[in-house]
Amino acid sequence: MAKILNNRGNRIYQGKMKRGKIKIFLFSVAFIAILSVFFPVFAFELDLEKRVFECTLKNGMKVLLMERHTSPTVSCFIRFKAGAVDEKTGNTGIAHFLEHLKFKGTKTLGTKNYNEEEKILRKIDNVAVKRDALVLEDAKKNKEEIERLNVKLKELQKMLKNYVIKDEIFSIYSKNGATGFNATTGQDITSYMISLPSNRLELWLTIESDRMLNPVFREFYSERDVIMEERRQTIDSKPHRKLLEHFLATAFIAHPYGIPVIGWSGDMEFLCKQEVVKFNKTFYAPNNAVVAIVGDINIHHTLFLLKQYFEKIPARKLPPRVITKEPVQLGERRIKVALDAKPKLIMGFHKKTIPDFEDYVFDVIDSILSRGRTSRFYINLI
């Protein structure tokens, strides 16, 4: 007599089995158990595509949902098809800067009294625009007026603090058990992600739909200083990253992939609020976004909530994505960067990208040549 129990001890099979069949059955169980221990992702990935529910809301927002009841949590992503390649000359770094500003709140989040705060924000903008114009015109010639405007700007920013609730969105999420609240900006996309208890999904929908509908770019000029400092820390003071930045600028002479995602410092210093607002209105549209939710959810109920919170956001006409085609490279390009650091070499070759199959071939070549202690480069060079 064979008795089979599930992982909760409940009987799922009982009956007579012949000795040969028992051996085959036990072998099959053992094989599956080995797969689940050493290759836990293997079985899951086989039917992953079948488990993903995909649809498009009325306003063009694409939705990907998948139930996964392994824990009472949910992971949520919003990805906008906008990045550094969508910037214009003179505004490099604007996509990355917008990512920062999206954490500053809305007309209801991050403020004690938005009506009063808005009056101060307008005054700050007026003073800052005049100051930036004088600096660009002639900083030495306009030194006294620039200093006067800087003093005025600091006074207004101090007044603004009386109305701002700093990091309120982060605080609300943290108090509700959320983790991994973050964002990333790339050349082509910008993503916002978080994980939180599944019974707090509607909280995420409330906050994120509000961030799309009613963003307020408060602390704009102080945050502009923050991204300048970020560049100094992550690029300018890191020799290997400085080398990579120059390498990419040499590899791409026409295509915007040669421009750093964080932006060139000369542009970052004078990023205009009006241009940031325009970029947000242009690209942060529901018909330019993909929402992915995975976890302890009911697909039908989650879709109902998504429609309730996101379908009220109107679609926008998206501009054609006209990107300069990189000309065929006619010869080897070399660049040498003199820095106070150990010698380092970067070599690169232009190749096709996804969805072209050759991209996967290059992944294999990359792995064979340079990943880990068994790679060709490590064995032969190190």
- 288: number of Cβ within 10 Å: 18
- Cβ atoms 77, 291 nearer than 8 A: yes
Q: How would residue 87 be classed by pLDDT, with cut points 50, 70 and 90?
A: very high
- Cβ atoms 90, 195 nearer than 8 A: no
HSE toward the beta carbon, residue 4, CA cutoff 13 A = 10
What's the pLDDT at 48?
76
Query: Among 27-31, 65-69, 228-232, 304-308, which stretch is predicted with the lowest mean pLDDT?
Result: 27-31
What's the pLDDT at 322?
80
What digits encode the pLDDT tens for the residues 154-188? 999 999 999 999 999 999 999 999 999 999 999 99
What digits encode the pLDDT tens for the residues 240-273? 999 999 999 999 999 999 999 999 999 999 999 9
What's the pLDDT at 51?
87
In the chain, the amino acid numbered 235 is I
Q: Mean pLDDT of all residues in the chain?
A: 88
The residue to which tokens 């992915």 are assigned: 292
pTM of the model: 0.83
CA geometry: angle at 115 spanning 113 and 117, to 5°? 65
What's the pLDDT at 264?
95
pLDDT surpassing 60 at residue 121? yes
- Cβ atoms 207, 172 nearer than 8 A: yes
What's the pLDDT at 50?
81
What digits encode the pLDDT tens for the residues 310-366? 999 999 999 988 888 899 999 999 999 998 889 998 989 898 887 889 999 999 999
What digits encode the pLDDT tens for the residues 36-57? 555 555 445 557 778 899 999 9
Residue 138 CA from chain centroid, whole number = 37
Buried b (16+ CB within 10 A) or exposed e, 116-140: ebeebbeebbebbebbbebbeeeee
Give the sheet arrangement for strand 62-67, strand by strand: 53-56, 62-67, 289-295, 73-80, 190-197, 179-185
pLDDT surpassing 50 at residue 376? yes
pLDDT surpassing 80 at residue 25? no
Give the pLDDT mean for 88-116. 95
Q: Is 317 exposed, middle or buried (0-12, 13-18, 19+ CB in 10 A)?
A: exposed
What's the pLDDT at 154?
94
What's the pLDDT at 353?
81
